[in-house]
Amino acid sequence: MITHIKIQDFAIIDHLDVDFHEGLNVITGETGAGKSIIIEAVSTALGSRADTTYVRTGKDKAIIQLTLDTSDDKSKTFFEENGITPDDETVIKREISKTGKSVCRINGEIVPVSLLSKFCRGLADIHGQYDHQSLLNAEQHVVLLDSFGGSEIRKVRETTEEVYHQYVDCSRQLNQIKNNLASAQRQRDFMSFELDEINKIKPQLGEDDELAQRITLLENSQRIYERLSGAYELLFGEEQSVISQLSSVTGQLGDVSEFSQEISGFNDRVSDAYYQLEDVSEELRRFKDSLTFSPEELEEAYKRMDLLDMLKRKHGGTLQSVLDYAREVETALTKIDNADTEIEALTRNLNIYRDQLKLASARLSQLRHDAAELMSQKINAELLELNFQNAQFVVEFKEQEKTVYTANGIDVVEFLISTNKGETPKPLAKIASGGEISRIMLAMKRITGELDYIPTLIFDEIDSGISGITASIVGKKLVQIAENHQVMCITHLPQIAACGAHHYKIQKTDHEESTVSTVVPLSEDERVDEIARLLGGINITETTRESARELLALSK
């Protein structure tokens, strides 16, 4: 619900700051006072195209700001899904620069105009000669029809949607397997060859690193043996070996260790080094004696490394990637071998889902036809009361050359209407008169008002071409709609103005160099005068005031 409107420097509006309320809010004013400008400003704030020509002459930018009650769960969900801080009161602001730049804000956060428009589509509908009208969107007609049909349609639609997704998922899996199978069968021989090649070589993870070390050892075995032998002789084999010398050192230190704790420590450390070197010497000897040089073994190592390198070049560069590829090929070959069984099972399930989808869609379509007949009867009755003597509202189910099954069933629905006898019903969007559109929307809102969950409805030119009794009926219907919605109605008819729970007047003032318009709420006395003006023109008399009071009393 819109609780406050603030407009600055928009066309002939210098500054407007006004509160609005629940129920029916009527706005009146003299011709040319700027009623349409206010609707244009609100439409712009709700996400319509920003027109720089509306920036007031001599000003840099126009600002339109709406304050809305957004305490409902639907608004909070929208905020959370789009990363906007939720609040029970929301301020949307649109700034239009004369240079063409437009800035949109929701609760102070800059948002794209597309997001603003998406948000506001669920907040307000403007009915008249403007394009912000959800009921003129044919894609929404089946949604409204389903809502009108109630819980029975909703349950069948949910079943249809569930079965449709099962059908689509099963069909996707089946097509994927068939496509993959056709490709895999062409590659089967090649994959089998590569897998056999890998299995024959039997690579082991880390084998290439170990083999590289072994080759290095074999290639340098003679040099390694010579160096190890020389090291062993220096440590242990010669008369003046390192170990022999260390033995003499320990003897020398041991002879005097009793005289000094420090000397005793030196002796202990040398003794430790002696025993460690003795162990190293023994291990060195065993390793040296184990070394053998075999040209045949080196040749075999070369061949094995060539095989491993070949596999790595073909399958990813590492033995890990080779082994991973082998597992993938094994899985692919298994799937090929089992594909016929899987295809048979999926085909059987697909046929089951197709039959279920046909049944659910047919049931849903029948319920929609029943709901469409009742909906047409009710709306046509409303149109008759609204002085459309020859109007015919029709819910059209468009014929298709080939039945197309969707999550929403098989129906393509559009609302059609003819307003004159003998005319073929046409889509709502093709109705030329803004006043006719507004009254048609009024009739539909009377029937569907509790179904679309849009809190604010704004009617412009709803009284075009009507008067007298019809105007009174329109006013009463607006009151009925206002029981479930906030309604704002711009009117020039006293019968409609008298029905309002809140009455506002657009006032235009001419200054030396400019003209400005603003909106002011009317007191009870001011309201009597305004309705008297609508009844009697410029000259307000006590007689017209009395008629205004009587009209107000009758409208309660």
- Domain of residue 507, CATH code: 3.40.50.300
Does residue 25 sit within a domain? yes
pLDDT band at 167; cut points 50, 70, 90: very high
209 and 290 co-located in one domain: yes
Listed range (285-289, 441-445, 447-451) with the worst mean pLDDT: 447-451
Choosing from 309, 327, 345, the residue where a domain stops is 327
Q: What is the pLDDT of residue 245?
A: 79
Residue 25 phi/psi, 5-degree rounding, is: -105, 115
Query: What percent of the residues of the chain are helix, what percent strand, and what percent coil, each to the nearest 5?
Result: 60, 15, 25
212 and 316, same domain (yes or no): yes
Determine, yes or no, domain membership for 103.
yes
User: How far apart are alpha carbons 3 and 290 in whole angstroms?
Assistant: 96
Shared domain for 4 and 115, answered yes or no, is: yes
Same domain, 299 and 195: yes
Could you tell me which residue, 308 or 450, shows the higher pLDDT?
Answer: 308
Q: What is the pTM of this model?
A: 0.60
Sheet bearing 2-10, strands edge to edge: 109-111, 102-106, 89-97, 61-69, 2-10, 13-19, 515-521, 502-510, 24-29, 486-490, 456-460, 124-127
In 3D, which of 368, 376, 391, 383 has the Cα closest to residue 441?
A: 383
Give yes or no: residues 193 and 102 share one domain: no
The candidate with the shortest Cα–Cα distance to 120, out of 501, 111, 85, 142, is 111
| Residue 321's pLDDT band (cuts 50, 70, 90) | very high
Q: Which of 298, 327, 356 is the last residue of a domain?
A: 327
Residue 42 lies in a domain: yes
5: domain range? 1-123+454-522
Is 528 a domain residue?
Answer: no
Residue 493 lies in a domain: yes
pLDDT at residue 535 tops 80: yes
User: Does residue 213 lie in a domain region?
Assistant: yes
Residues 301 and 225 in one domain: yes
Per-residue pLDDT reduced to its tens digit, 345-359: 999 999 999 999 999
For residue 475, being part of any structural domain is answered with yes
Q: Is pLDDT above 90 for 58?
A: no
* pLDDT range class, residue 37, cuts 50, 70, 90: confident
Band of pLDDT at residue 132, cut at 50, 70 and 90: very low
Task: Count CB-CB contacts under 10 A for residue 176.
Answer: 11
Give the separation between CA 253 and CA 269, rounded to whole angstroms.
11
Q: Are 323 and 249 contained in the same domain?
A: yes
Whether pLDDT at 244 is above 50: yes
Domain stops at, among 327, 342, 369:
327
pLDDT in tens, 248-282: 778 888 787 888 888 888 888 878 888 888 888 88
Q: How many helices (H) and strands (E) does the chain have?
A: 16, 15
Same domain membership, residue 196 and residue 319: yes
Residue 210 and residue 109 share a domain:
no
Element (H, E) at 508: strand 502-510
Same domain, 111 and 213: no
Query: Mean pLDDT over all residues of the chain?
Result: 85
In which residue are the tokens 């000003």 written?
A: 59
Our count of domains for the chain comes to: 2
Residues 214 and 307 in one domain: yes
Residue 548 lies in a domain: no
pLDDT tens column, 423-439: 889 888 777 555 577 67
One domain, residues 112 and 194: no
